[in-house]
Amino acid sequence: FITEHRDSVEIWSADTALGTLLSKGITPDMVSILETQSWNHLDFHDSHDTGIAIMADITSYPGSLNMTGGIVSFYSSAFAKLSLLKRLEIACPELQRIPALGSVGLSTVQLALNRSEGPIFLAGLDFAYSPGKTHARGSSIHRWQMSNIIRTNPTPGWTDTMRRPRLKAKGYGQQECSTDMILKGYAELFRDRFSASGRLYLLTGGLDIGVPITDSLEARRIIQEHRAAKNDSPGTESDAVDSRAMSSFLEHEIMLLSRSIHAWESYSDGNEDASMVVQALEALDHVYCDFPDEPPLPKADDGFLFRAIRRCRELRRYIERVCEQ
């Protein structure tokens, strides 16, 4: 279907599906990123200089942003209640915001609904898989599995995937699908959020997510009906962030980080109370939101403050390096 209608549809891909599409000779128009970790780089294998536009969450792994050489635009998912995100919303009101959906697939659907007015066809978003086969051929996970096959471990990743309790869930028609609790939860979230949109159509099977499943002939009819309407395009102009506003935002972040570092140094020298450091860190809750400490956080503890200030120094160095470029 994608190959047949390549010239009449716009292809948006989640980063995890990019390798699969490229291996089939299909270059998408846009790829979305949500992942913050460095292994996200693997999803962009063979994408160098393809010119694919990238739409990335502001917390996405930075190394992935320039892999394709395409235009990069950003969005923000409300993944946590952080002072940083509130300041960013004030500084960059034009930045697109979406709910925290937890899945790059669901986030891509939300972005597509936000940026277009026409029908959207879903492929591969089935929320089901055969045991041990979690990702499509050509994806980074599949390549990793193939490259790590050895005589004593012919099915890499099998043990990890089978640790998840297997479930049988209702698919389309009389189909029964094999899935797990995590994917079933995403399918239920999809149904709750998107099933009433009236613009989504499923091209492949899988769990019943509350949108109509269609075949190639019906999809062709839907496309032809929409051709006379407005030509949707992903564009990036509406997401353009004022460079002066961003520079001012970064300078303010450096000031907040420096204030906390100076408060810690004064406390270490015996000139300030620990409460001054705690107070300075109030606006920087993002520096310790991933700490493993159980709530309530021991914010007045020297060990906690030391880790938080060390993170402040790392972030300040990073922002200063970015500002120098």
pLDDT tens for 21-52 read: 999 999 999 999 999 888 898 999 899 999 99
Choosing from 175, 206, 238, the residue where a domain stops is 238
Question: What is the DSSP secondary structure assignment for residue 293, as one 8-state letter?
Answer: P
pLDDT of the residue at 12: 97
Task: Let me know whether 187 and 289 are in one domain.
Answer: no
pLDDT band (50, 70, 90) for residue 264: very high
Rounded to whole angstroms, the Cα distance separating 26 from 19 reads 10
pLDDT of the residue at 244: 85
**Residue 54 domain-assigned?**
yes
Task: Let me know whether 126 and 59 are in one domain.
Answer: yes
pLDDT of the residue at 236: 41
Task: Let me know whether 249 and 189 are in one domain.
Answer: no
Task: Let me know whether 259 and 319 are in one domain.
Answer: yes
Percentage of the residues of the chain whose pLDDT score is greater than 90: 66
Question: What is the DSSP secondary structure assignment for residue 136, as one 8-state letter?
Answer: -
pLDDT of the residue at 241: 65
pLDDT of the residue at 228: 64
CA angle, 226 as apex, 221 and 228 as ends, to 5°? 120
Give the model confidence (pLDDT) of 149-194 as tens digits. Answer: 888 888 887 777 777 788 999 899 888 999 999 999 999 999 999 9
Choosing from 238, 272, 287, the residue where a domain stops is 238
**Residue 218 domain-assigned?**
yes
Task: Let me know whether 191 and 282 are in one domain.
Answer: no
pLDDT of the residue at 161: 74
Task: Let me know whether 80 and 117 are in one domain.
Answer: yes
**Residue 310 domain-assigned?**
yes
Task: Let me know whether 150 and 75 are in one domain.
Answer: yes
Rounded to whole angstroms, the Cα distance separating 314 from 105 reads 31
pLDDT of the residue at 243: 80
What average pLDDT score do residues 186-214 get? 95
Rounded to whole angstroms, the Cα distance separating 94 from 258 reads 28
Per the structure block, which two tokens stand in for 324? Answer: 């120098």
Choosing from 217, 238, 259, the residue where a domain stops is 238
**Residue 211 domain-assigned?**
yes
Task: Let me know whether 246 and 290 are in one domain.
Answer: yes
What average pLDDT score do residues 244-262 get? 95
Nearest to 307 by CA among 325, 283, 289: 289
**Residue 2 domain-assigned?**
no
Q: Residue 299 belongs to what domain range?
A: 242-324
**Residue 1 domain-assigned?**
no
Per the structure block, which two tokens stand in for 7? Answer: 């010239």
Task: Let me know whether 182 and 220 are in one domain.
Answer: yes
pLDDT of the residue at 61: 92
Percentage of the residues of the chain whose pLDDT score is greater than 70: 96
Task: Let me know whether 164 and 292 are in one domain.
Answer: no
**Residue 55 domain-assigned?**
yes
Question: Does the pLDDT at position 232 exceed 80?
Answer: no
Question: Does the pLDDT at position 122 exceed 80?
Answer: yes
pLDDT band (50, 70, 90) for residue 254: very high
Task: Let me know whether 94 and 233 are in one domain.
Answer: yes
What average pLDDT score do residues 54-61 get? 94
Give the model confidence (pLDDT) of 267-293 as tens digits. Answer: 999 999 999 999 999 999 999 999 999
**Residue 4 domain-assigned?**
no
What average pLDDT score do residues 119-129 get? 93
Task: Let me know whether 135 and 185 are in one domain.
Answer: yes
How many domains is the chain partitioned into structurally? Answer: 2
